[in-house]
Amino acid sequence: MKRNAILACAVLLLGGCATTYDITLMPRDSGKLYKGVLENVGASEGRVSVTLDDKSYSGTWVSVVSDRSHGYASGGYWGHRGWGGWGMGGVVSVDNPEGGLATALLQSPDGAGLRCEFRGPGYGTGGGRCRDDRGREYDVQLRAKATT
């Protein structure tokens, strides 16, 4: 059991170390795949670049909702007629199922824009959507780049 706990901790730590992600985009009106890269420069922000056909977009992303929630939980008991008692508490950290949201604003050299929302890259994979200035929408997949 101790070995399993150590292995689980190692997996979580290694998953959090990945700082570069491959992006795959597919427009909703065709099956063509496009590629890009998302980099984490720390403090929940980073750079992102995507190439759609012959047009390259680049910009930044920022985290707008954390993927974790933290709080303090306590409990206790107070005896009958006011005697005795105990209490304890601690800080807890849990996954936020509605968290891990990041937004990205990208621009091409000719001034065209691409706006994206991503969820979940903190665990090695994620997804989201992008929309260009013409209203074309793209589904997005994120995968941590393999380190060699």
Of the ranges 56-70, 96-110, 128-142, which one carries the lowest mean pLDDT score?
A: 56-70
Average pLDDT over residues 129-143: 96
Q: Say whether pLDDT at 114 is over 70.
A: yes
> Do residues 44 and 62 lie in contact, with contact meaning Cβ atoms separated by under 8 Å?
yes
Residue 15 has phi, psi (to 5 degrees) of -60, -35
- Looking at per-residue pLDDT, the higher value among 60 and 76 belongs to 60
Q: What is the DSSP string of 81-140?
A: GG--EEEEEEEEEEE-TT--EEEEEEE-TTS-EEEEEEE-GGGTEEEEEEEETT--EEEE
Long-range CB contacts (within 8 A, 24+) of 6-13: none
Tokens of 141: 């997949």
Task: Tell me the sheet residues that pair with 126.
Answer: 142
Average pLDDT over residues 14-21: 58
Residue of higher predicted confidence among 83 and 105: 105
Q: What is the mean pLDDT of the chain?
A: 76
The model carries a pTM of 0.66
pLDDT at 12 over 50: no
Q: Which residue has the higher pLDDT, 109 or 70?
A: 109
Q: Higher-confidence residue: 120 or 58?
A: 58
Residue 77 pLDDT level (bands cut at 50, 70, 90)? low
Q: Which domains does the chain have, with CATH numbers?
A: 19-144 (2.40.128.120)
Question: How far is the first Cα of the chain from the last one, in angstroms, to the nearest whole number?
Answer: 30
Contact 67, 118 (CB under 8 A): no
φ and ψ of 18, to 5 deg = -65, 125
- 95 half-sphere exposure, CB direction, 13 A CA radius: 6
